[in-house]
Structure 1
Amino acid sequence: MAADPETPLAGEALLRPVRPGNAFEETVGRLLQTIRLGVLQPGESLPPERELAARLGVSRDTVREAIKSLSDAGYLVSRRGRYGGTFLAEPLPAHTGDHLRVTRAEIDDVLRLREILEVGAARMAASQTLTSAEREMLWARLTDVRGASGDDYRRLDSRLHLAIAEAAGSPSLVTLLAENRMRVNGLLDQIPLLSRNIAHSDEQHEAIVIAILAGDCEGAAAAMLAHVAGSASLLHGFLD
């Protein structure tokens, strides 16, 4: 593809290996950066899957899932045949977060507070001696979100996170987390639900709840940290 002389350097900077733990979400975020920062132009082709996988340090399956998700969201199109491949859509979708008028600093503020509150809530919940009813409620909230439809997912996801805060035993924490969650959901509502991200979130939710029920404070905190980091990658990718 034709490219500006600086494009290879920009591409190298953006398409660098992702951090482990949230490979799908970070791959989506990196591809969105190359698109929205103009490293690639509408109508130009992405590098081949094999090259992207090698540069990002992920499997070709992960690259394929990320490309499919961005195709579903209208950013990419696939063409078959001799001159086939994956190309940027013409035109690209309108910037998802344009009407929000949020800055990167504002997004960072919401997400950093979320990390402080939710990682702390998971660690504290794991330190508590939960009653049978509390343990059953936590597992029920997990089961609900795992079976949620697209329309109900955000609501039931929020309810699980609030249940974790309740299990931490601090009403003040629940209030603060609920307020922050409203801000987080305001951002999440502006980006598409990606089926692979939901499946990954379900796995992370289960790891968090199992660690809490096992009394594993550091395991619960680490699992929650990985979970919120995945959401942060997608939000920055779509909204920055």
Structure 2
Amino acid sequence: MSDGTVRFEPAQTKRAFDSIIDQVRERLREGTLRPGQKLPSEREFAVQLGVSRNTVREAVRMLEIAGLVSLKKGASGGAFITSDNSDALAQGIVDGLTLGTFTVGELMEARIALDTAIARHAAAEITPAEVEELRALVEVARGYATEAEWPDRLRSHLAFEERLGQIAGNPILRLLNAPLLELTSEVSLRIGPSVGEAIWVAREHLLDALSHNDPGAAERVVRDYLENLHTSWLGHGAYENFLGGEA
């Protein structure tokens, strides 16, 4: 056995791969499986579960799609419990946009709700040293001034947002917001740097609110900026044909 502690019971013959998935989820809830831990080899797993290796393979594939397992190749490879399933969450949002389950306007609405919550929490917790750290990230982004450097500027803006989320201290807010940041950044990447220059003013106002530990002001700055950005994107047709979504 791979880890010497976690054991699995023979799976039910009816929908055996569902039984395997349920057992993995149960052991995650119990804490006997943890992020980064390796599952038994395909052969070991099949013996423990009393199923074929094909059934194990199908279950692991479904766990990977769900974002609970990542597969690594090589001598030290195998199936590992993931430590971050934000990629699966992001894919679910992309799929929802593509299928028309929700619109990119609703995507921005969710982004506003999460970003304002993060700003409010960060303002209550932030230290002067962390404010200066964020200020330095703004200056890095400002350094990418040419149109050719637009992707680098976007990555720097993401670094700012991710650090702000860390400072806010709520990992669930950060996890939920990560795919929304990536998707709205993709919109920005497509329409180019002609829109969104007001971000520098918003950043300065946000840094000021954070430095005064003012949650209300931080929330207002973020809300106003994102609402204005949404309106600007609507005017530039940024949402048209984006992943099949509507504004």
Q: TM-score, normalised by structure 1?
A: 0.52
**Matched residue type, 2:174:** V
CA distance in 2, matches of 1:109, 1:166: 24
Q: What is the aligned partner in structure 2 of residue 140 from structure 1?
A: 136
**Matched residue type, 1:125:** A
CA distance in 1, matches of 2:180, 2:122: 18
Q: What is the aligned partner in structure 2 of residue 4 from structure 1?
A: none
1:109 aligned residue (98, 106, 109): 106
Q: What is the aligned partner in structure 2 of residue 206 from structure 1?
A: 204
Instruction: Indicate if the aligned counterparts of 1:126 and 1:215 stay in contact, CA closer than 8 A.
Output: yes
CA distance in 2, matches of 1:210, 1:174: 22
Q: Does 1:127 align with 2:116?
A: no
Q: What is the aligned partner in structure 2 of residue 184 from structure 1?
A: 184
Q: 1:132/1:220 Cα in 2 relative to 1: closer, same or farther (>3 Å)? A: closer
- CA drift of 1:103 comes to 6.8
- CA drift of 1:208 comes to 0.8
- CA drift of 1:132 comes to 4.6
Q: TM-score, normalised by structure 2?
A: 0.51
Q: 1:214/1:191 Cα in 2 relative to 1: closer, same or farther (>3 Å)? A: same
CA distance in 2, matches of 1:153, 1:188: 11
Q: Does 1:159 align with 2:159?
A: yes
Q: 1:207/1:102 Cα in 2 relative to 1: closer, same or farther (>3 Å)? A: farther
CA distance in 1, matches of 2:101, 2:190: 15
**Which runs of 5 or more structure 1 residues have no equivalent in the other structure?**
1-99
- CA drift of 1:105 comes to 5.0
1:223 aligned residue (217, 221, 224): 221
Correspondences of 1:34-49 after superposition (within 5 Å): none
**Matched residue type, 2:130:** E
Q: Give the greater-gyration-radius structure (CA).
A: 2
Correspondences of 1:28-107 after superposition (within 5 Å): 106-107=103-104
- CA drift of 1:174 comes to 1.8
* Structure 1 SS opposite 2:103: helix
CA distance in 1, matches of 2:206, 2:142: 13
* Structure 2 SS opposite 1:189: helix
